[in-house]
A and B are shown apart, each in its own frame.
Chain A
Amino acid sequence: MKNHKILFLIVGLLISVGCTAINTDTAGQSKKQKHDITFNYTDITAESNVDFNHLKPTFDPKVDNIMPWLASTGASVAVADYDNDGYYDLYFTNSKKGSENGLYRNKGDGTFEKVDSITTDINHDSVSTTALFFDYNNDGYPDLFVGSWGYSKLFKNNGDGTFTDVTEEANTTKFGYAAKAIALDYNKDGHLDLYVANYFRSENNLWDLETTKIMHDDFETAVNGGKNYLYRNNGDGTFTEVAGDLGVDDTGWTLSTGSVDLNHDGYPDIYNANDFGPDSLYINQNGEGFKRVTQPNNFGNDTHKGMNVDFADIFHKGEYGIYVSNVSKDSYIIEGNDFWYPNENGEYEEIADKLKINYAGFSWGAKFFDVNNSGEFSLAVTNGFITGESDDDYWFDLGTLVTTPGNVVEDTKNWPTIGDKDLSGNENKFLFLNPGNGKEFIDVAEEAGINFTSDGRGISVVDIDNSGELDLVFANQNAPAKVYKNNISNDNNWITIELEGSPPSNRDAIGAKVTIITEDKETLIERDGGNGFGGQSDPRIHFGTDSNEVIKEIKIVWPSGRVQSLENVETNQFLSIKEDASIPMK
């Protein structure tokens, strides 16, 4: 009997110790320790005149029971200096038929003005879901691709503040359910190509359904989504869709796609964050095609709910880590977000939990950036799925559906009605501060002043007033956009670099690799083609240098292979670097 009492005591002790260890949850809704930080964000949405309000779409009444789910994406924001006045402008997508997208011109004083544009009143037969500025014709003016559920559109920037719809002549006319679009020059011909991630299968018309069997057929291994498109830029103002030929017509439920030269062979690779099934990593085969790669530890073959992908050299080793947003909800799903980082053998290991950047609720857009000019990549993650009015949440219903066979799941008729139930709504956003030296990140969103709980989708990092401080713009689903101004109180230094490629590089210099070398570290940053779900960030390379007032060297490897170097560069300046065409190509 004495032994039994001891056992009782041990068991009770273990449980109570464990219980006291619980001081937060996967959505970060509980007690948080306060930290001293040298920056804060101010919500300037109202005074900046960004009055954009995203409206959700509606579809065929046959799928009314899960309409909140189907109408849960489409808010996004893209950034470019479309009028070349030196200040970066914003473009928001809207998703209700009849609603207008928003083009906001940056006036340079921290405020914006809404611009009448052919690019905004386009949600008639289709609805906008993603946007991407890229200079497809290398004329120095950012053009605009608006990805849609339905027919996407391509607008050529006329160079005078106006755009022309060139969708038909450019041949970017395929029907689909675009979730994300990125630009990359996959074959290094100097003309930017366009990769479009599609979610639903294109044979289903969500506004006029012939079947209700439109959903994923597995919560872990589904690959019955829409095919992704790769529009190859022919260099003459037209595109050809070549995804099937090149092996990147991924039929996973791709929500986000991102590109970077992961294996340093000079060609951009593609990582697709796929919902309900394995992500896909496609390694570029010298511009002639792509090869899907997986590794034994589930890298490229995970079963998580991929929602976003972004890359950063957070350890200053010249290697990109890959951050993939996933879904976490206490009691139901705790897969956590992933951060894949290569070891010495090139095998990627998942270390998000070690860095404490794994739990951020129902995560969507996420972006690495130097929040405090410390020379370290911090990480912003937006989140929240469907904020409902009811006290009931849909997780229970979803948790039940998960236990049913695939043919039950794929048919919307079998889904319990969502109605006004909540599904990971009202979540606090995350801003993971990187203290450097490989230490754990710290969520400081609350003390930094990012305090809204709308259902977030996209994040754009942009220096709105060219102050050398990176501001944040959030695209929120069925809710107003948010603009946050960064105010840094430390004396850290910084550099912002605008790149311009020369042939045979693309003019946007997408794919260019910039290494910033200071006394104590080297950091590799790649000019990306719009990575990040629901957001495209400031195309300029911005990085802090901490207390270093002079950068020892800035080394640029252009997409052409030319290598250009600047030494002893003063900090706290905006630097424009044009690719020196006289340098021999490697």
Chain B
Amino acid sequence: MSKSNKSYITSWSDYKLDPRFLIILFLGLFIISGQTYLNFEQGLENVIVAIATTVITEMILGRIILKKWVKPISALITGMGLSLLISSTLLWPYFLAGFLSIGMKYTFKYKGGHIFNPNNLAVVLIITFFPLFATITPKQWSNGYIMMSIIIALGLIVVVFAKRAEVAITFILFFLIIGYFRHLFFDIPLLAAIGPIMGASTQLFIFFMITDPKTTPVTRTGKILFALTITIIDGILRVNRIPHAPFYALFLTSIIFMIPYRYFVSKLNQKEGENYEGSKYKWI
């Protein structure tokens, strides 16, 4: 990583338009669709619990740990995301997931940056430890092209604004390649192997989870390697018939890719004599 004059976006304020507002808008549209057209298992009360939990937790922890009142914009996104991802008729999984996602955001930091996507970590914990009470919602998005088209369109806008298009494109490309190999070597019908890429739930994962600027690398090479790692792990998990493979793949990638990556970049920063706050790598 050379120290160039190239302008890296290292803070939400560096964006001309903060992509979080776009994400809030789009997730809001999905929530409305889920509560009306798609008849989601989780009702409005579940959505409210998820959002209220993440927002309140963020404000309390921000006050206690950071000694300031944090604007809960990211927490709002996390809550909205959880309400869309988790399927349960019960309320407490949304409370628990909301608390865990924000709590662990403050807990698990390494070299000054987040390791896990808060939504992903909470969802993985919920589906691993509470499979009786909650699952994630691929089926709820229906198998229709209308929903898929809407998600793709909105998702593309978000990743372009968030400057994470490389992550999405890499994931899609390698998912197709690995899917083709799974078709060839594991006797899976081609459309079953690559079909999930055409489904709404995978697209949400691609455009709204793995592209989270706070938990992905900054550089193009980093983004591509990050997405490639997720895709490979996803393929391995699918071959081994592990359910909810993408979510576990992102979780594992956060451990085996992001931790070394942050360590490596931190060393670079130190070598170059930059303090963390002034570093172009401060996100990573």
Contact = CB atoms under 8 A, between A and B. Distances in A.
B140 to A, nearest CB: 7
A298 B38 CA distance: 11
A416 B239 CA distance: 13
B268 interface: no
Contact of A220 (B61, B104, B142, B198): B142
Contacts of B39: 220, 298, 301-303
A331 interface: yes
Contacts of B188: 416
Given A3-B64, A11-B107, A403-B196, A334 B134 contact: yes
Nearest to B88: A334
A408 B130 contact: no
B125 A15 contact: yes
Interface residues of A, number: 52
Given A15-B125, A298-B39, A408-B191, A395 B143 contact: no
> Which residue, B64, B130, B134, has most C-beta atoms of chain A within 10 A?
B130
Contact of A403 (B99, B129, B201, B242): B201
The 4 closest A-B pairs by CB, nearest first: A404-B195, A403-B199, A406-B143, A330-B131
B139 interface: yes
Interface string A389-413: 0001001110111111110110101
A514 B238 CA distance: 56
A427 to B, nearest CB: 15
Interface stretch (A17-25, A365-373, A457-465): A17-25
Interface string B224-255: 00000000000000100111100000000000
Contacts of A18: 96, 129-130
A58 interface: no
B276 interface: no
Given A26-B132, A332-B135, A14 B195 contact: no
Given A8-B107, A392-B241, A399-B244, 14 more contacts: A4-B65, A7-B106, A219-B142, A303-B39, A353-B89, A399-B243, A401-B195, A402-B143, A403-B196, A405-B143, A405-B198, A405-B199, A414-B190, A416-B187
B243 A11 contact: no
Interface residues of B, number: 52
> Which residue, B64, B129, B190, B200, has most C-beta atoms of chain A within 10 A?
B129
Contacts of B145: 405-406
Given A217-B143, A220-B140, A403-B138, A22 B89 contact: no
A415 B143 contact: no
Contacts of A218: 142-144
A584 B144 CA distance: 56
A553 interface: no
B191 A331 contact: no
6 contacts: A4-B65, A24-B132, A401-B195, A404-B196, A406-B145, A416-B187
Nearest to A392: B241
Contacts of B103: 7, 10-11
Contact of A408 (B135, B192, B242): B192
B158 interface: no
Contacts of A298: 39
A221 interface: yes
B189 A413 contact: yes
A302 B41 CA distance: 9
Contacts of B65: 3-4
B100 interface: yes
Contacts of A414: 189-192, 195
Interface in B36-73: 38-39, 41, 61, 64-65
Contacts of B196: 400, 403-404
> Which residue, A14, A336, A406, has most C-beta atoms of chain B within 10 A?
A14
B127 interface: yes
Nearest to A16: B129
B219 interface: no
Contact of A334 (B125, B133, B241): B133
A408 B140 CA distance: 17
B107 A404 contact: no
A336 B89 contact: yes
Contacts of B242: 396
A115 interface: no
A574 B170 CA distance: 74
A187 interface: no
B130 A11 contact: no
Interface in B153-174: none
A421 B127 CA distance: 23
Contacts of B241: 392, 396
A400 B191 contact: no
